[in-house]
Structure 1
Amino acid sequence: MSETSEFLERPDGERLAWRKVDGAGPAVVWLGGFKSDMAGTKAQAIAEWAQANGRAYVRFDYFGHGESSGDFRDGTITRWREDALAVLDALTEGPVVLVGSSMGGWVACLAAMAVPERVKAMVLIAPAPDFTEKLMKPEIPPEGLADLARDGVWLRPSEYGEPYPITAALLEDGARWSILEAQEVPIEAPVRILQGGEDPDVPWSHALQLAHAIKSPDVVFTLVKDGDHRLSRAEDLTRLISALEDVIL
């Protein structure tokens, strides 16, 4: 199966870049991480698996990410959630399996809560629900808080390249989409979570909190003791594909 690519036009004129493999369902939908894109190692590994096995697969870039239009600084959890739901509506039919990495794990949960009848299962890699409030905000240094108060943006250093612009709007909006404050996350589909024990960005305890909160009784949490945040080594990709096959076949 070959992979096609195109843009999804949004009502506000912005364009979401996507790639799609036609095949048997349920369609697998990739939801990437914060400042990531659909060309990453894990997304590509799933594309190769889909092509080799005749499975339907969709990956895309959020507003302000990768090949999509828009300024990253203008992005919010609200906007990226809307992007995910627009892709589900326009590019898939019937049940889907959501695969979310880092922030994509949060977006996947929000999408599953919005359209539970569509979501057959989920695979989450280092899921970071509520990361703006729980993980990012507490670590902003005094000079970062001053930048946010003065300019509305803080340039957060990153191990993965250029500093990430963190806006006051992103932090304020993220707080509105918190899901871990409730006693239960109302997701009833099967969920598989892969988490690195040496993840410097998402502590394993944070991902485990999500696993405990999800309502579904069919939740499997796998701790990769020496794994980092990306979980993109060959052995990690094997685990990812195995988790995907566990819930899709």
Structure 2
Amino acid sequence: MLYRINFSDLKLTLEIAASMPDAADFFQGPNGRLAYRRRNGAGPGVVWLGGFRSDMLGTKAEFLDEWARENARSYLRFDYSGHGESEGLFTDGAISAWAADALSVLDELTSGPQILIGSSMGGWVTALLAKQRPERIAGIVFIAPAPDFTELLMWPAFTETQRETIMREGKLEQPSDYSDEPEIITKKLIEDGRANLVMTGDISIACPVRIIQGMKDDAVPYAHALRFAQMLQSEDIEITLTPNGDHRLSEPPDLSRLAHVLETLIEELDQSESV
């Protein structure tokens, strides 16, 4: 029997397979099955908390997975309910649900001290987690943190007509800067956000905190990050402002900066443990 092998097709197949992410694992969260990917390694572990409508296959989350592989570091990333590969509808979600998802991930899928990396809305979720499980959080890296964004950034930017539409019809659809799909803002999101505000006074986060913020961020102005930093109770806060950085902070220099900030934080945590 004669077998014919097309090596060009085989090479293409192998290249495609190599570029595909490993299949997600799932566990039952408070709002349906949550998708996650976990890499075993040294502690303290690193947990990625993504932003509004983002998923765990984004540039920064994937970069951190490769960084964790190279550094033999424990790393966990997941999708909130209604995001990415997790169950649920995005429009059914709100800050309470996504924070509950994150808490279940922290409790069920990690052990020991963790470093949380909260990006944009993930910064809000991270702040809520740190208040609920302070003993589990070794340190935090905030990337363009957007705590209270529904009330302090989004609601003031709406026109009176848009606000009336949300309250009367229960939602507002508008073009998204980050997706071809329209961005849907629900009444539930706005009202639930008001029930979860953290920037109302001192914020009881005492662990080491690092903030990376672009000064050309048109979604979360850097003044918002600075105001947030001033409210934190931690006595170990470092802020890195990038003059040309946008909201994504996903360009190669941004990713290198993220790795440097994370590695330096881990070194400092290791040194404090050995004292």
TM range (shorter): over 0.9
- The partner residue of 1:168 within 171, 180, 187 is 187
Alignment of 1:71-220 (within 5 A): 71-161=89-179, 162-182=181-201, 184-220=202-238
Give how far 1:4 is off. 6.8
Q: Which residue in 2 is equivalent to 1:67?
A: 85
What letter corresponds to residue 187 of structure 2 in structure 1?
A: A
Superposed counterparts of 1:19-98, under 5 Å: 19-98=37-116
Cα displacement string for residues 101-158 of structure 1 (whole angstroms, at most 9, x for unaligned residues): 0000110111011000000000010000100100001111233223212210011321
- 1:161-202 CA distances to partner (integer Å, 9 max, x unpaired)? 2221111111011011111111x1110000000000000000
Larger strand percent: 1
Q: Deviations over 1:188-221 (max 9, x none)?
A: 0000000000000000000001111110010001
The 8 Å contact of residues 3 and 21 in structure 1, kept in 2 or not, is answered as no
Per-residue Cα deviation, 1:223-248 (whole angstroms, up to 9, x for no partner): 10110000000000011111111222
1:8 corresponds to: 27
| 3-state SS in 2 of match to 1:208 | helix
Task: In structure 2, give the amino acid aligned to 1:7.
Answer: F
Amino acid at match of 1:8: F
Work out the number of aligned pairs and report it.
246
Query: Within 2, Cα distance between the matches of 1:11 and 1:130?
Result: 22
The SS at the match of 1:94 is coil
Please, what TM-score do these two structures have when normalized by structure 2?
0.87
Contact kept, 8 Å, 2:49 with 2:118, in 1: the verdict is yes
Percent of residue pairs identical = 51
Q: Counterparts of 2:121 and 2:88 in 1: how far apart (Å)?
A: 18
Greater fraction helix: 2
- Corresponding residue for residue 258 of structure 2: 240
* Structure 2 CA distance for partners of 1:11 and 1:32, relative to 1, 3 Å: closer
Distance 1:17 1:134 in 2: 30
Distance 2:251 2:45 in 1: 25
> Structure 2 counterpart of 1:120, which letter?
A
> Does the CA contact (< 8 Å) of 1:156 and 1:163 recur in 2?
yes
* Runs of 5+ consecutive residues of structure 1 not aligned to the other structure: none
Say whether the 8 Å CA contact 2:148–2:193 is kept in structure 1.
yes
* Partner SS state of residue 56, structure 2: coil
Contact (CA 8 Å) 2:30, 2:104: kept in 1 or not? Answer: no
In structure 2, stretches of 5+ residues that fail to align are 1-20, 268-275
User: Helix, strand or coil for the counterpart of 1:158?
Assistant: coil
Calculate the aligned-residue CA RMSD, in Å.
1.3
1:5-25 superposed Cα distances (whole Å, 9 cap, x missing partner): 30111255x111000000011
User: CA offsets, 1:50-81, max 9 Å, x none?
Assistant: 01110000000001001101000010100000
